[in-house]
Structure 1
Amino acid sequence: MNVKQPYVVTAIAISFVVIVIIISTSSNREVASETTSDDRPDVPKAVSNWPQEELRLGQVSGVAVNSASQPVIFHRPGRSFDQYTFNASSHYQHIADGPITEPTVLTLDPRTGKVVGKWGANFFYMPHGLTIDKHDNMWITDVAMHQGFKFKPGELEPSLVFGEKFQPGSFEKNLCMPTSFAIASTGEIFLADGYCNSRILKFNAAGQLMKVIPNKHEFLSLQIPHGLALLESIDRICIADRENMRVVCPRAGLYGLQGRKEPPLTIQEPDMGKVYDVSVRGNLIYAINGPTSGVIPIVGLTIDPQNEKIIDRWSPPDGGFNLPHAIAVCPNGSSLYVAEINPNKIWKFELVPPK
């Protein structure tokens, strides 16, 4: 009896350890499950019957959100961007038609979608990109004019002009069908240039050229950088690299980090399609693709750039998207907007916790 007692004690001890391990493992799984659920990003949910009244819109090429959480859209009333818009040397073919005579910039009520402000008549020829910075300056590109503009709040004449009017080129003072701006909190300016030059130009706040991305020493090639967004917390400028069917995020060079040499973050998956635009919320990217092939769906994408992967795909109900062109997340993170061409419309999505 005394000989067997140590074995009995040992068996009891082992059983106790096994039970503790099982309980601990189960508990860890529950914690991991809860953490995974909590860490999942908010899901875009289309707002039905928004806008509440029909808007008379041309091709909606740009969307941004101002500090009052109002969506602002940039559209092309009476104009279309098609195969006859430019010649082989990228010169706009309809200068004689003059600028668009209707307002091209519309501010909407975020609750109803009703137009509460409009401007931009008799200035633009072929609207493309719209960005609004934290000071409510509007940064606009016009592909026909081969120019980019900064408009201060309430002003109808630009305070900064990039490019030469109707003069495409690849020199320092020329642009060729520029597509989009991104503005850093430091005031530095990133301009996607664009359909012809496939480069990103970085300027200081006064509009002086600082850098060209990619430079000749970088192992990076862009094909139609169509949209831009800054991830300042990790010093990245993220590019909707449309024809390469990816999002690529090289170093932005902010906050004295210009000397850091790291490869771009690259998000590219077989069903990603042509990426038309990107917007940022926290450390996530919300993006939209466009028509690519019959087997690749046209959807919104939620991207974790630091892990270089798509973590969600989403679209509106009842038919989804047809040709989304631009996306913008509200500064307070409560909603996002998608501008679409054919049909010409604006979508509102609320960002809601996943079920």
Structure 2
Amino acid sequence: MLIFFQKDDYVGVSVPTPSGYVFGYEPLASYDRVHHYMLYGCEKPYDESGFWKGQGKCGEGKAYILYVWARNAPDYELPEGVRMSIGNKGDDIKYLVLSIHYGMPLAGNTKDYTGVKIYMTTQPPPMLAAVYALASSDDLPPKLDRYYSNMSCVYNSSTPIHPFAFRPHTHVLGRIVSGYFLHGNEWTAIGKRNPLWPQIFEPINRNLTIQKGDVIAASCHFTTKERTEKTYNGMGSGDEMCNYYIIFWWDASLPKPEVAGQVCWDSNTDAMSKYPVDGWKPMPPNVEFDDLVHYNKEPFGVSQEAFYSEIDGFKLGQVVGLAFCPNGHLLIFRRPANAMGPSAFDSNNVLTNKTTISEAVILEINFNAHTPKITKRLGENKFYLPHGIYMDSEGYIYTTDIGSHTIAKWSVYGNSISQVWEAGVELQPGPGKDEFCKPTAVTRVKDSVFVTDGYCNNRVVELDASTGQWKSSFGSLGDSHDQFNLPHDIISTAKGNLQVADRNNGRVHEIRIDGQHLAVLEADQYKKIYSMDPSSKHIFVAPDKTDQYDENPLFIFVARTSQALTEYAFGPEHKKKFGIPHVIRVSKDDEDVYIGDVGLEGLWKFKVRFFEKKV
């Protein structure tokens, strides 16, 4: 989705409910981008179109709160044997509606793909679960060190309920939120928490039972001493809220409690006058939680910093490869404009123009200066059609040349390079053990060099890093989990595994260095990809157009590594578009993104504004 948000904007999304029983929720969200969201089960959605702007949630009929996320809360899994019924007879839930609150607009040309992954089973459980919410509509007077907003309702159902988790919610003025229930004259704590911490559903490690006639109560302690005017109760990030959510279970053989999915807005003054004092006592400090949760005062997004068609007066041409040096500089692997056209190879994949490029094809760029500077120009008269490049921690450069069908290791001496070894038969493509056919990319892990032998052989080849001798290979043409259809890029991860961009299959493989398949990342947003690069928590994917007639602008898609689902995307600003985003690399600090564009013949630089900290 692409929405140009204003401050405190809301978006609603609905989908028909599958039939089953929910046992877990995995949020795909960040507090840098999203203030909070709520998942509802509805008989009818607010808008039949399935997508709308505004605070609308459910339409006519029953509405149930299923899940709430805020402040970088982690995944949530229900206890064993406890499930939430959706899409089944009698639960009145025919649609799932996700209502997302964006506190600020997104910077740059950034798309957001916030959502939630729902884990379900078709097996009916012995215990069913639901959410009961208590909410206050109080406005907050200014200049008070303490203000208490209270809520309480009598439980009138005959079916006993058993709270097993709770979750507080305020905005920035809340200091403590607690919940209790009153049975006879005895108060029993449900739980309390600092609402400025990650707003998780905190487990209750006690067996609790609420029966008919009991009073369920909650209270929020606010501090408004820094406010000079009344703070209104409302949905905006500058407003305040006081909510307390309880997840409870009941015996699935008994009638559904009336409070399932409902909200208590009342406050029994007499009951609250006896509310336990401990419910208002502050929680002890938690440095870890305080550090994990932050809300940026500036919008999150990925902003275009520059597009370079030349640096220091040197025309970049087709930027096909990128790599970082140990000193933090960027290596650009380039070829002159129009170096590769439709007649570059004959029908046997043999290069037609067997003349090396006379210009420097490797540029070392210092982007730390106010204006980028070329610090080295390397590789004159040594390459035919450059493609992939990598520099190891010792300063050796590894390159692939699709024109000569070779891989080479180079040592750098001042402004020149010297070949250490070359693998493959120069200008002779082939499928053999000592041959390559248009190899696309290269990386190093420990004592091995790994090459995507891409355009013809559809395999990954392992070479000895010291000698260039063949060690092993894996992969073949196809679309199964251990096959490729043009492996176009390869990188090594922090864990020592490999990631391979499977271009025409539109996916990223994560593979152990022995060739064992670990995982695959693919998404509905793209069908082909050129390149990818992982940051500390995400993977950045540069897609290819679906076909030559596709006029839709390309975006870079960013997925959280642990989930392999698209989280956000970004593209050029000011009505500009990517041409062919051939290679992407992300700086070590996760802030700078460089994209080599073969179509526009240059280099893009983007800045990631504010990364989140997550539980």
TM-score range (shorter-chain normalised) is 0.7 to 0.9
What residue number does 2:499 align with?
Answer: 238
Indicate whether 1:330 and 2:587 are aligned.
Answer: yes
What residue number does 1:288 align with?
Answer: 542
What residue number does 1:10 align with?
Answer: 183
C-alpha deviations, 1:68-115, integer Å up to 9, x for none? 2111211112542222111111111111xx111111111222132232
Which structure 2 residues correspond to residues 47-62 of structure 1 after superposition, within 5 A?
Answer: 47-48=305-306, 55-62=314-321
What residue number does 1:4 align with?
Answer: none
Aligned-pair CA distance for 1:311 = 2.2
Which structure 2 residues correspond to residues 70-149 of structure 1 after superposition, within 5 A?
Answer: 70-95=329-354, 98-110=355-367, 111=369, 112-149=371-408
Q: Distance in 2 between matches of 1:47 and 1:202?
A: 37
Indicate which of 415, 438, 442 corresponds to 1:181.
Answer: 442
CA contact (8 A) 2:407 2:422 kept: yes
Summarize the Cα distance change of 1:195–1:310 in structure 2 as closer, same or farther, 3 Å threshold: same
Summarize the Cα distance change of 1:36–1:269 in structure 2 as closer, same or farther, 3 Å threshold: farther
Secondary structure of the corresponding residue to residue 443 of structure 2: strand
Summarize the Cα distance change of 1:266–1:285 in structure 2 as closer, same or farther, 3 Å threshold: same
CA contact (8 A) 1:266 1:305 kept: no
C-alpha deviations, 1:169-199, integer Å up to 9, x for none? 0001100000000111x13110010100010
- % identical equivalent positions: 21
Summarize the Cα distance change of 1:36–1:24 in structure 2 as closer, same or farther, 3 Å threshold: closer
Q: Distance in 2 between matches of 1:90 and 1:48?
A: 36
Summarize the Cα distance change of 1:76–1:226 in structure 2 as closer, same or farther, 3 Å threshold: same
Indicate whether 1:341 and 2:590 are aligned.
Answer: no
Secondary structure of the corresponding residue to residue 322 of structure 2: strand
Q: Distance in 1 between matches of 2:527 and 2:563?
A: 19
Indicate which of 131, 137, 153 corresponds to 2:412.
Answer: 153
Indicate which of 33, 39, 45 corresponds to 2:303.
Answer: 45
Range 110-119 or range 290-299, more displaced = 290-299
One-letter amino acid of the structure 2 residue matched with residue 316 of structure 1: P
One-letter amino acid of the structure 1 residue matched with residue 439 of structure 2: P
Which one has a larger percent strand, Structure 1 or Structure 2?
Answer: 2
CA contact (8 A) 2:582 2:596 kept: yes
What residue number does 2:451 align with?
Answer: 191
Summarize the Cα distance change of 1:167–1:26 in structure 2 as closer, same or farther, 3 Å threshold: same
Aligned-pair CA distance for 1:153 = 2.2
Secondary structure of the corresponding residue to residue 150 of structure 1: strand
Q: Distance in 2 between matches of 1:315 and 1:270?
A: 18
CA contact (8 A) 1:92 1:144 kept: yes
Indicate which of 18, 30, 48 corresponds to 2:199.
Answer: 30
Q: Distance in 1 between matches of 2:509 and 2:604?
A: 25
CA contact (8 A) 1:335 1:350 kept: yes
CA contact (8 A) 1:129 1:141 kept: yes
CA contact (8 A) 1:267 1:305 kept: no
CA contact (8 A) 1:78 1:100 kept: no
What is the TM-score when the length of structure 1 is the normalising length? 0.82
Which structure 2 residues correspond to residues 166-177 of structure 1 after superposition, within 5 A?
Answer: 166-177=427-438
Aligned-pair CA distance for 1:209 = 2.3
Gaps of 5+ in 2: 1-180, 202-288
What residue number does 1:225 align with?
Answer: 487
Summarize the Cα distance change of 1:105–1:308 in structure 2 as closer, same or farther, 3 Å threshold: same
Larger Rg: 2
Aligned-pair CA distance for 1:164 = 0.5
One-letter amino acid of the structure 2 residue matched with residue 302 of structure 1: V
Summarize the Cα distance change of 1:52–1:164 in structure 2 as closer, same or farther, 3 Å threshold: closer
Summarize the Cα distance change of 1:151–1:321 in structure 2 as closer, same or farther, 3 Å threshold: same
Q: Distance in 2 between matches of 1:268 and 1:28?
A: 33
What residue number does 2:509 align with?
Answer: 248
Q: Distance in 2 between matches of 1:9 and 1:222?
A: 63
CA contact (8 A) 1:273 1:296 kept: no
| C-alpha RMSD over aligned residues | 3.0
Q: Distance in 1 between matches of 2:474 and 2:293?
A: 36
What residue number does 1:298 align with?
Answer: 554
CA contact (8 A) 1:224 1:241 kept: yes
Range 296-305 or range 235-244, more displaced = 296-305
